[in-house]
Amino acid sequence: MHGQSDAEYFDTNRRRWDELVPIHLQSPHYDVDAFRAGKTSLCRVEREELGPDVPGKSLLHLQCHFGLDTLSWARMGAVVTGADFSAKAIETAAALAGETRLNARFLVTDIYSLPEKLDEQFDIVYTSYGALCWLPDVPRWAALASRYLKPGGTFYMVDFHPFACIFDDAANVNALGIRYSYFTPDDPIRTEENGSYADRDAPLVNRVTYSWSHGLGEIVSALIAAGLRIEFLHEFPFAVEKFSEFLEEVAPREFRLKEHEESMPLLYSVRARKD
């Protein structure tokens, strides 16, 4: 992996995400038909922690994939803009906006290049599940999030807890064992596999991805350094996806450990304010 640039890692990841868009569009995980019928794709945590503040506010969704959550915020009354590096994802998001008659703007760009496409500020900057691991530079990400917030604006994120992501997640593993570093490694984590969280068995041409681990201290410190005032950091003993064989679904979109329940965080959320 030595010698590759971040641009090359992003290009590799982009090819895989382009390929995943039509797979995800058809997957029960996303249940796009239910969304078309009026349901939300948002989970309980973000609805409760951010939802009351959304109506009438401008909202920028970083790394929005094919826009289902972005459009769910629009359905709740936000004026939304979504950004993602996959042109196929953004094309699909725009089509869904047209189908559902929801007002939304979508931009094709990786997060670090967003200033080349967008020069304004928002009431809310939002990012969620499984987004941050695709970025190598957390301080730069945090600075961009702050840049796009109006004074008095709210940054909100909810994601899988980095501690829960250190364990071996191979299909044949039946005991908790550490496989990944909690801290950001010098080189990205290279993974080669078929499928995704939304369709485990989907055959893929673009099987390689590169990702980065980021500890909670690194993330929160970067947000503070970017001029944001942390209002809360919450940790939860459940996840919204079955990202490990050690989890079982106990309620819709709520997965808990089969053993040692309540013993470690699986999800976290951060809310911050730009003064």
- pLDDT above 50 (res 238): yes
Domain contains 172? no
pLDDT, one tens digit per residue, over 135-158 is: 999 999 999 999 999 999 999 999
Domain contains 129? yes
**CA 269-274-275 angle, 5° bins:** 135
Query: Given pLDDT bands bounded at 50, 70 and 90, which one contains residue 1?
Result: very low
- pLDDT above 50 (res 159): yes
pLDDT, one tens digit per residue, over 49-100 is: 999 999 999 999 999 999 999 999 999 999 999 999 999 999 999 999 999 9
Q: What is the mean pLDDT of residues 10-27?
A: 97
Which of 37-41, 115-119, 182-186, 214-218 shows the lowest per-residue confidence on average (mean pLDDT)?
Answer: 182-186
Domain contains 273? no
CATH of the domain at 10: 3.40.50.150
Domain count, the chain: 1
Domain contains 248? no
Domain contains 136? yes
Domain contains 22? yes
- pLDDT above 50 (res 213): yes
Domain contains 139? yes
Can you give the pTM of this predicted structure? 0.94
Q: What string of DSSP letters covers the chain? A: -TT--HHHHHHHHHHHHHHHHHHHHT-TTT-HHHHHTT-----HHHHHHTGGG-TT-EEEEES-TTSHHHHHHHHTT-EEEEEES-HHHHHHHHHHHHHHT--EEEEE--GGGGGGT----EEEEEE-TT-GGG-S-HHHHHHHHHHTEEEEEEEEEEEE-GGGGSB---TT--S--B-S-SSPPSSPEEEE-S-BTTBTT---S--EEEE----HHHHHHHHHHTTEEEEEEEEES-BSS--STTEEEEETTEEEESSSTTSS--EEEEEEEE-
Nearest-CA neighbor of 163 among 141, 142, 180, 187? 180
Domain of 48, in residue numbers: 6-159+183-237
Domain contains 89? yes
- pLDDT above 80 (res 207): yes
Question: For residue 164, what pLDDT is reported?
Answer: 83
Are the CB atoms for 40 and 227 separated by under 8 Å?
no
